[in-house]
Amino acid sequence: MGSHFPVRLLRVTRCFLAGLLLAVPTLSQSLSVSDVQTIIAQAVSKATAMNQRVTVSVTDKEGNLLGTFQMTGASTDTLIRSVGRAGQGLENLTVPAALAAHSKAGTAGIFSTGGNAFSTRTASFIIQEHFPPKDDNRPGGPLYGVQFSTLVCSDIAIAALPLGLSGDPGGLPLYKGGVAVGGVGVEGDGLYTIDRNPTDDDQSMEEIIAFHATRGFEAPPLIRGDNILVEGIRFPFSNVSSTENVATAQFATLPGTVTSAIRAAPPSDFVPGTLGGVNGQFSSRFPIVAGSTLSVAEVQQILGAAIATANVTRAAIRQPIGTNARVTVAVVDVNGKVVGIFRQLDAPVFGLDVAVQKARTTNFLARSDAGSKLTAAGLGSYVARGAAEGITLNGSIAFSDRGFGFLHRPLFPDGINNTQAGPFSTSLGDWSPFNVGFQLDLIRPALLAALSPNPPVCRGAKFSKKDFLLAPCPCTSIPELPNGVQTFAGGQPLYRGSTHIGAIGVSGDGIDQDDLISAGGANLFPSPANMRSDRTFVRGVRLPFLKFPARPFVD
């Protein structure tokens, strides 16, 4: 992945593909107060007709909560429960139903773009121990671990989701004129879970109500998840394709209480900009700056090379087929400080937090003190398990996110049945998407504190005339990992010769694409070949480093 990386990746595409010229949405393409009231009223009217009592939340496309309504008689709590052992991880934890509805709405909103419309059912499909779920001897889902991103303790997320990203059916995206504007989430059955059997046609009442809530705000059929295939596998979107219409009651007459004030979508967190001739957006909170080991010019060079690569890379999860990938790219220095973020127009917003997580994960693992810091943070058991497998967390191995994630699966090698867990995972008998091992254990104390009746309050800060609540002090006790770690592909450490200088993380339209784009950004600062994780064997199995798509480039 050094200087012989194809030169064509570093050129900007001949002329910007039509999709890249998407305009920044205007106010008419955002959710208004009236829109939010209509969506909630449609949901509550449908629930009333079904004799159900639910909580409904609406968010904008950046995850900002625009309103929550709890019907009279609706359960105020819901139980987190899947296949894991009760009491392990988050299994059997009771949380407010409003938080579940919020996370469902936000997941659908920040997952969806002008090229793909994903639901919480889609999310469930891509985070399990096999992909597709229930298919033996298949690797884990392509976004395995993404549920532990955009957390309330994150210093990166624009508007955090209280339970992270959700896989519980009942969250659907919202569109206006074909433009992604947010999501709606419905909680009411008392169980916050995932869909373990996507081959059936179960129609939860939550999904039926959410489907009705989207009337007039439906996702364009072409870009729905069930029109997107990865490795020939069709994603799910919703098991509800139609439902009997009911009259919509006036918002003021709805039976229940507004528990989170109704508001219009606030101004975007992103600011328009151009990098290397590519139109996109910068973060208003994380401008390009020098780090302890990287200059401003170097950060711009890394970001620009990655974005140029993205501009000629064929997207995996975007319609129409043949469209170039849209991603967020983040660069951090050796201390995990964000020194630059840039996203292409219409890149999925969930990639903001995830790209930084990926960069920080590989950066941390490249540090000589990674093992000692984890031990001091109470995670020494994972350090010991890694050492027993020949994985010494002392910076001697340059882990990509793909390489580290391979060791963080409940089956090793990834997805192969009747094998033991990787050293950073929990065992399959205890495993669930709510109990994955190291990734969750690292952030679990902060997450539980944030979900407690009296959560810690951190200092607020103003950025671009918006109020942000900073992380609850923060996600981890390790300064280099303030928003946790990520365990799927798309990041790698950066080196100047043999000296570690930081890391790059990419998240957007496909994990093999993320690897390819991160390699484009790291081209001038590659990991030394003899240190890459694909030079390491565990239990006789070679670890991966990067994987590129079979047909990587747009025609």
Q: Determine, yes or no, domain membership for 377.
A: no
Tens of pLDDT along 305-321? 999 999 999 999 999 99
Cα torsion 336, 339, 344, 350: sign = positive
- CATH code of 231's domain: 3.30.450.150
**Whether residue 273 is found in the same domain as residue 231:** no
Boundary (domain end) residue, out of 239, 260, 281: 260
Q: Determine, yes or no, domain membership for 375.
A: no
What pLDDT shows up at residue 28?
61
Q: Determine, yes or no, domain membership for 91.
A: yes
Count of structural domains, the chain: 2
**Whether residue 296 is found in the same domain as residue 217:** no
**Whether residue 342 is found in the same domain as residue 281:** yes
- Distance in angstroms (rounded) separating the CA atoms of residues 389 and 473: 33
Q: Does an H or E element contain 506, and which?
A: strand 499-507
Question: Can you give the residue range of the structural domain that contains 543?
Answer: 1-25+268-367+489-555
Tens of pLDDT along 197-208? 998 989 999 999
- Distance in angstroms (rounded) separating the CA atoms of residues 438 and 180: 34
Tens of pLDDT along 419-442? 999 999 999 999 999 999 999 999
Q: Determine, yes or no, domain membership for 423.
A: no
Query: What's the whole-model pTM score?
Result: 0.93
Q: Give the mean pLDDT of the chain.
A: 92
Boundary (domain end) residue, out of 211, 237, 260: 260
Q: Which percentage of the chain shows pLDDT scores above 90?
A: 88
Q: Do the beta carbons of residue 351 and residue 328 sit within 8 Å?
A: yes
**Whether residue 81 is found in the same domain as residue 119:** yes
More confident residue, 360 or 459: 360
- Distance in angstroms (rounded) separating the CA atoms of residues 266 and 258: 19
How many CB atoms lie under 10 A from the CB of residue 160? 27
**Whether residue 228 is found in the same domain as residue 93:** yes
What pLDDT shows up at residue 64?
96
- Distance in angstroms (rounded) separating the CA atoms of residues 439 and 148: 8
Q: Determine, yes or no, domain membership for 224.
A: yes
The beta strands (E) that lie in 146-291 are given as 171-176, 179-187, 191-192, 229-230, 233-234, 256-260, 270-275, 278-283
Of the candidates 531, 552, 551, the one whose C-alpha atom is nearest the C-alpha of residue 543 is 531
Q: Do the beta carbons of residue 175 and residue 218 sit within 8 Å?
A: yes
What pLDDT shows up at residue 472?
52
Q: Determine, yes or no, domain membership for 417.
A: no
- Distance in angstroms (rounded) separating the CA atoms of residues 319 and 421: 36
Q: Determine, yes or no, domain membership for 383.
A: no
Tens of pLDDT along 96-140? 999 999 999 999 999 999 999 999 999 999 999 999 999 999 999
Q: Do the beta carbons of residue 328 and residue 352 sit within 8 Å?
A: yes
- Distance in angstroms (rounded) separating the CA atoms of residues 249 and 509: 39
List the structure tokens of 282.
Answer: 């910068």
Q: Span 62-90, mean pLDDT?
A: 96
How many CB atoms lie under 10 A from the CB of residue 492? 34
Q: Do the beta carbons of residue 356 and residue 475 sit within 8 Å?
A: no
Boundary (domain end) residue, out of 202, 237, 260: 260
The beta strands (E) that lie in 261-403 are given as 270-275, 278-283, 328-333, 338-344
**Whether residue 207 is found in the same domain as residue 67:** yes
**Whether residue 215 is found in the same domain as residue 274:** no
Q: Determine, yes or no, domain membership for 230.
A: yes
What pLDDT shows up at residue 3?
35
**Whether residue 220 is found in the same domain as residue 345:** no
Cα torsion 287, 291, 293, 295: sign = positive
- Distance in angstroms (rounded) separating the CA atoms of residues 331 and 293: 12
pLDDT band of 454, cuts 50, 70, 90: confident
What pLDDT shows up at residue 464?
33
Instruction: Please state the length of the chain.
Output: 555
Q: Does an H or E element contain 60, and which?
A: strand 55-60
List the structure tokens of 300.
Answer: 């711009």
**Whether residue 9 is found in the same domain as residue 36:** no
**Which residues lie closer than 8 Å to 223 by C-beta, 6 or more apart?**
114, 115, 116, 117, 318, 319
**Whether residue 15 is found in the same domain as residue 114:** no
Would the pLDDT of 25 be above 90? Answer: no
Mean pLDDT check: name the lowest of 347-356, 372-381, 448-457, 480-489: 448-457
Q: Span 18-24, mean pLDDT?
A: 37
Would the pLDDT of 13 be above 50? Answer: no
Q: Does an H or E element contain 96, and which?
A: strand 93-96
**Whether residue 38 is found in the same domain as residue 17:** no
**Whether residue 16 is found in the same domain as residue 126:** no
Burial class from Cβ neighbours inside 10 Å (0-12, 13-18, 19+) for residue 30 reads buried
- Distance in angstroms (rounded) separating the CA atoms of residues 174 and 165: 17
